[in-house]
Amino acid sequence: MREQLNNIKLEAEKRLNQAGSLAELESIRLQYLGKKGELTAVLRGMGQLTPEERPQIGQLANEVRSFIEKILEAKTKSLQEKERLSRLEKEAIDVTIPGKRRFIGKKHPLSIVMDEIKEVFIGLGYEIAEGPEVELDYYNFEALNIPPGHPARDSQDTFFINDDFLLRSQTSPVQIRVMEKKKPPIKIICPGRVYRSDAVDATHSPIFYQVEGLVVDRGVTMGDLIGTLQLFARSLFGEDTRIRLRPHHFQFTEPSAEVDVSCWSCGGKGCRMCKDEGWIEILGAGMVHPNVLRICGIDPKEYSGFAFGLGVERTAMGKFNIDDMRLLYENDMRFLRQF
């Protein structure tokens, strides 16, 4: 009997090691350990043994059983693992097939630029001010130190509704409306739509966007204006950007300046973008004219301020290398999806 058990042990071990599938393992299990299995048959024959032999054989039989069970378990695990592996292999997909996209909408390039500008100035403590587009002549011109008959009115080909109302030709009237209502310190930017009677072409649009800024408080200097614009230019066009101010004339600022930034395309060496000048004009700026402060009820002896403004279209066109302003208002999906 002992020999029989040893045979079962050796045979089962051999068969188990050769088994290649879970089904085979199961049939091996049944063959040896099942109710009608060989080991069970041996145990049934224990009755014929002597009382001395019985515990010894019983112990051996248990050893054989647990030996077989152990191998069976290990083998089952490894076969299960193998089968899972082969299933996973079969489940392989082509991961380069394009994913299921949601196609999130795209922000318009003008919004992208305006949002960037807003972010910079909000970070510096500015508020965003808004005002009407159908504006009174008073706010668009007179309060900005441009009285009736002044030649500066001609330089902004204005759309008129009637003698009193017009389509604002600049966002500066918003500054006046804010200064009328609010006491310094004032720190605002006014992004908005403005209108000038220019025929539509690659570089002109009768409707375009400006962002203007205004700061009024005690002791505000031209140095503060320059520092602010320098910071702004760096945020918008990159850390290495330099600015250059040239004296200019605006009715509502004194001193006034036009502001160039070093060309974002060539960094100032000169290229097609900057017409070999190394500089691109993007801003107008200056110290708020004392007459303007006075008109708004702010004492120019006590307060001073600076203002600046830029055209959003030209900035966006420069930033994104857009060569035709018409694209911005045509809204071709193939254009819009690029931003």
Nearest 5°: phi and psi at 238?
115, 155
- Sole binder of other proteins in the list 73, 81, 127, 240 (CB under 8 A): 127
Q: How far apart are CA 318 and CA 273, in angstroms?
A: 8
- Sole binder of other proteins in the list 44, 95, 151, 272 (CB under 8 A): 151
Q: In this structure, are residues 76 and 21 in contact, taking their beta carbons and an 8 Å threshold? A: no
Q: In this structure, are residues 153 and 146 in contact, taking their beta carbons and an 8 Å threshold? A: yes
- Applying CB under 8 A, the span of 12-20, 24-32, 180-188, 262-270 interacting with other proteins comes to 180-188
Nearest 5°: phi and psi at 119?
-60, -45
- Applying CB under 8 A, the span of 42-50, 63-71, 77-85, 197-205 interacting with other proteins comes to 197-205
Q: Which is nearer to other proteins, 2 or 337 (CB)?
A: 337
- Does the footprint of other proteins cover residue 149 (CB under 8 A)? yes
- Does the footprint of other proteins cover residue 182 (CB under 8 A)? no
Residue 192 CB partners (closer than 8 Å, separation 6+): 130, 131, 133, 168, 171, 174, 209, 210, 211
- Does the footprint of other proteins cover residue 329 (CB under 8 A)? yes
- Does the footprint of other proteins cover residue 121 (CB under 8 A)? yes
- Applying CB under 8 A, the span of 13-21, 59-67, 80-88, 192-200 interacting with other proteins comes to 192-200
Three-state DSSP class for residue 1: coil
- Does the footprint of other proteins cover residue 246 (CB under 8 A)? yes
Q: Which is nearer to other proteins, 187 or 314 (CB)?
A: 187
- Does the footprint of other proteins cover residue 7 (CB under 8 A)? no
Q: Which is nearer to other proteins, 29 or 177 (CB)?
A: 177
Q: What is the per-residue binding string for other proteins in 289-308, x denoting contact by CB under 8 A? A: xx-------------x----
The 10 Å Cβ neighbour count of residue 176 is: 23
Q: Which is nearer to other proteins, 5 or 194 (CB)?
A: 194
Query: 85-96 burial string, b = 16+ CB within 10 Å, else e?
Result: eeeeeeeeeeee
Three-state DSSP class for residue 189: strand
